[in-house]
Structure formats: structure tokens, C-alpha cells
Homo-oligomer: A and B are copies of this chain.
């Protein structure tokens, strides 16, 4: 699709307060003059910055690394200032959020770029290099957090530095969280508290993965999630099935029956009447985009270690991941789980369950539906809500999506596929809801980069493309008046 494609808004999707007119191409091209040379020249600086951040092991899941997360935030603030932005470290009840800003002027468009700087744990035994020392081999940057999400954060920073240095009329704000890997427990409180200082026209989130290395992808939707437990209690202690089996209720068997009433586990079809009533049907056009992402069933199976699937039809597989709700069993607690079989009848059993949700399912409404369905049949089953996250549907067409697609095409030479993410990202929902701005997921990571895996890496190709992508998006924004 050419840059001059007329902007169209999709009235069904969420969006920010202001509609953006399409940017004037000549002005943007002018601003981007010299970007190629800047990108090339950026490389040593980018690599130094990435090495410095990777060298601080900010593992948010491990309290022993609390000091490293404080150091991460401090060093991130230094890097923002080096790039010509202001920086402040905003404390939370957990680890802080680093906010960097370049305020070019009131009335100018504002973009917020979200990344996170905390990382997954790393077991050195599984790594070929030291996880917390950046190993540069040609274009490849190996180290924990290199692609998730320090590399993309610094890629965007290089682009912002280009814009700030040239005095572009656009307000740029970075929001760098340090608790993403532990579920962003304090991010909503941060956003609420800082709301007056976080006004923005659009949010870019760069923490997602292309489906295939040769096809850029933009996520415009996320599944929601509701997690809950169902408990059946029939006694006070283990009994011996020889002594009680027959008249005694078996809470594990009853939970198995409850699960089988809720879902056909072979097909995955949810059997609860009304469960899918609020599901917005996915269009053929959307499905075409999912498939065009380069999704490959064999690659998917190999990447996740799956040896069989409910279906191997590509279109059906992507439809299920990106646009269908689920009902999953994650664990059953109760009874005997050691070696062999011990004939106990437990007094209580709990099933750990969840449902992934798609637009426009409401997690609380779904929980109430599931609870009522189960307790109508099993009055003494006790359901407890654990966590609820609504699904997210951002723009797939319209000016925000077009601007991102144009930037991606400019940077990587190919228009992106518009896909949805099967998982849930709390920060996206929080920002969309509280900032009232559309969130565009312009990820830069590749499937081969090893998110959460040993020997995680990032690379210069994605960095260089990413700088161009963000610069193009910023240039586009300069043509707008907020």
C-alpha cells in the first residue's frame, strides 16, 4: 500500500481523543534526510548503551536483584539525558518507572513509547556466553534482555535522539517499566498517579515478536484473560478408598466432570451457553492478515515443543490463537501425586483454570457466567476469581495504523502484516484505558531471538530498521497539530 493511501478510520476500534490527518509526505522526507548516515554512525553508541544495560542483571522475579533494578533505572535515566531528553525516576510500591521526555512545545503532537527494562532470570549453564555481559558477534547481540526489551528500548531512543537533536516539533515521552516480567503489579497505580503528566496522542509499545523473520508484523489486538480456581470440598482428611469408596464423593472426579461440562477438551469448544456471545467475529480480511504474517504451523509446533495439535490447518490455527477464546486447565491440586498409585480419596480438590478472551468479552462477565454455570449444577463448588484482564483491540486501519505501517514499510521495505497477540499485556490495557490513546504494538524482535530463552539475542538489522521505523513515525507526527 502506497504512503499516499487515503486514511480511513475503522469505527469499531478504540482510538485516542484526536484523529490525525495524514502527514504531508514532502515535509517528512525532508526531515528524514541524513537518517541513513545517522543510523550507520549510531552503531557504536547503540552497542555501548546496550552493553551497559545488559550488564546490569535486573531480574525482577528475584528479590536478590532489587539493587540491580535500582541501578537499571538510574542508568536508564543517564542514557535518556545523554540522548538529550529529561529523565525522572518515578518510585512505585515495587520497582520504579523511568520517564524520559522531550517536550518540544504545547499543542504539538505527543507520542509515548513504552518499553520495559527488567529481564527474565538466566541460568548460566544454559548459555553459550555470559548472560549478563553483551556478546557481540557480527550483527548478533547476545545477552539477557537484549531483545526483551532493552534492545528495542534503546533502538527507539536512538531515533528520538535524531529527532531531538534536529529540534523536530513533536513531544516524545519514554515510559520504561521495570516490573513487566512479573506482571506489572504497580503499573496501573503509576499511570493513575502520573496521569496529568502522561497526556499523549498515541502510544507505541515495542515488546512483541514478528511471526516470521521476513515479514514485519504489527499487533493490533491482545486476548484478555480471566483466571480462577474451582474447589470442591467433601471432607476433612484423606480417606482410604477401600474404606469409603462408593458412598464417598471424590472431589477430583467431580472436578474432572465439571471441566468436561465446561469444555470439550478434544476440540477445545467451550460448552457453557453464552460464553462466546460477546465475541466479535473475525473478518476474512483480518484472517488474511494473520496468515500473511508468515505463520507456519510446523515452525509454531517446533518453537513451542508441541507434538500434536487440535488442528493443523494454518488459517484455523492462527484464528484460534489470535481471535478465539479458550478454556484451559492449568493444574489440579489434591490427592496423591507421588510415584505409583495411592488409593486416597482427598477431602478437597482445586482446579486452576483460565479463559483467554477476545473482543468484546468482559472478563468479569465471563467469570460470572462460568461461576453460575458450574454452581447451578454443583451447588457446593466454590469459584474464586484470581485475575481479570480484558481483551484489547487497537486500530488495524485508520491513521494510527497507517502511520505505523508506513514507518515499517519505510524501515524494512515491506508492509507489515496486521496480527493479534494471543497473550495479554496488562500495560497495554492500562495505557489504553487511562491515557485514552490508541496503542500500537510495533515490535522489533524476531522468533529466533529467544524471548525468555537461553542465549537470547537481538541484532543490528532489527536495530537499524527499528531506528528508521521510529524516526519515520516521529517525522510523521511532526506534520500534525495535536
A-B contact list, 24 entries, CB within 8 Å = A234-B306, A234-B308, A235-B304, A235-B308, A239-B306, A242-B424, A243-B304, A244-B304, A245-B356, A245-B422, A246-B326, A246-B356, A246-B422, A247-B300, A247-B309, A250-B265, A252-B331, A253-B329, A256-B257, A257-B260, A328-B345, A331-B334, A331-B337, A337-B352
Please name all residues of chain B whose beta carbon is closer than 8 Å to the beta carbon of A260 when the two chains form the complex.
256-257, 259-261
Question: Could you tell me the distance in whole angstroms from the C-beta of A20 to the nearest C-beta in chain B?
Answer: 30
Q: Which of B242, B250, B386 contacts A422 (CB 8 A)?
A: B242
Flag A334-347 by CB within 8 Å of B: 1 or 0 each: 11110011111111
A254 close to chain B: CB less than 8 A: yes
Query: What bracket does the count of chain A residues touching chain B fall in?
Result: 35 or more
A47 in contact (CB, < 8 A): no
Residue A324 is within 8 A (CB to CB) of chain B in the complex: yes
| Inter-chain contacts of A421 with B (CB < 8 A) | 242
The reply to whether B324 and A335 form a contact with Cβ atoms under 8 Å apart is no
Q: Taking the complex as formed, is A197 at the interface, i.e. its CB lies under 8 A from any CB of chain B?
A: no
Nearest 3 pairs of A and B residues by beta carbon? A242-B423, A246-B320, A253-B265
Q: Quick check: is A189 within 8 A (CB to CB) of the other chain?
A: no
**How far is B102's CA from A474's CA once the two chains are assembled, in angstroms?**
103
Q: Which DSSP category, helix, strand, loop or mixed, fits chain A's interface? A: mixed
Complex Cα spacing A237 to B304, Å: 7
Stretch in contact with the other chain, from A124-132, A223-231, A278-286: A223-231
Residues of chain B contacted by A223 (CB below 8 angstroms): 242
A82 at the interface (CB under 8 A from B): no
A332 at the interface (CB under 8 A from B): yes
Bits for A142-171, please: 1 = Cβ < 8 Å to B, else 0. Answer: 000000000000000000000000000000
Q: Which residues of B contact A248 (CB under 8 A)?
A: 304, 306, 309-310
Partner of A242, one of B236, B254, B356: B356
Contact B344 A330 (CB under 8 A): yes
A225-B242, A242-B422, A245-B321 are known; give 15 further A-B pairs, CB within 8 A.
A227-B340, A235-B306, A237-B305, A240-B423, A241-B354, A246-B310, A247-B300, A255-B256, A256-B259, A256-B329, A259-B260, A308-B380, A330-B335, A330-B336, A330-B341
A340 with B386: CB separation less than 8 A:
yes
| Set of chain B residues within 8 Å of A12, measured between Cβ atoms | none
Q: Output the nearest chain B residue to A451 by Cβ-Cβ distance.
A: B243
Q: Measuring CB to CB, which residues of chain A are less than 8 angstroms from any residue of chain B?
A: 223, 225, 227-229, 233-237, 239-250, 252-257, 259-261, 263-266, 268, 300, 304-311, 316-317, 320-321, 324, 326-337, 340-347, 352-354, 356, 378, 380, 386-387, 421-424
Taking CB atoms, residues of chain B closer than 8 Å to A342 are 330-331, 352
Complex partner residue of A321 from B237, B243, B252, CB under 8 angstroms: B243
**Within 8 Å CB of A233, what residues of B?**
307
Chain B residue numbers with a CB within 8 Å of A266 are 254, 257, 378
CB–CB A328/B236 < 8 A: no
Find chain B residues with CB under 8 A from A254 CB: 265-266
Bound-complex Cα distance A330 to B335 (A)? 5
Separation of A356 and B227 alpha carbons in the complex (Å) = 36
Q: Which residue of B lies closest to A387 (CB)?
A: B341
Q: Given A241-B328, A241-B330, A241-B354, do A343 and B227 touch, yes or no (CB 8 Å)?
A: yes
Q: Which of B247, B255, B309 contacts A317 (CB 8 A)?
A: B247
Closest Cβ of chain B to A346, distance in Å, is 8
User: Bound state CA distance, A337 and B307, in angstroms?
Assistant: 23
Distance between Cα atoms of A260 and B259 in the complex (Å): 9
Cα A11 to Cα B340 with chains together (Å): 38
Flag if B326 contacts A331 (CB, 8 Å).
no
Q: Considering residues A228, A248, A310, which has the most beta carbons from chain B within 10 angstroms of its beta carbon? A: A248
Contact across chains for A331 and B321 when beta carbons are under 8 A apart: no
Find chain B residues with CB under 8 A from A265 CB.
249-250, 253-254, 256-257
CB contacts (< 8 Å) of A300 on chain B: these are 247
Q: Which residue on chain B has the smallest CB distance to residue A306?
A: B235
* Complex Cα gap A462–B378 (Å): 45
What residues of B have a CB within 8 angstroms of the CB of A422 in the complex? Answer: 242-246
Which residues of the other chain, B, contact A380 by a CB distance below 8 angstroms? 308
Closest CB in chain B relative to A234 CB, distance in Å = 6
Of the candidates B306, B337, B343, the one whose C-beta lies within 8 Å of that of A333 is B337
> Which residues of B are found within 8 Å of A345, using beta-carbon distances?
328, 330
Residues on the B chain within 8 Å of A253, using CB? 259, 263, 265, 327-329
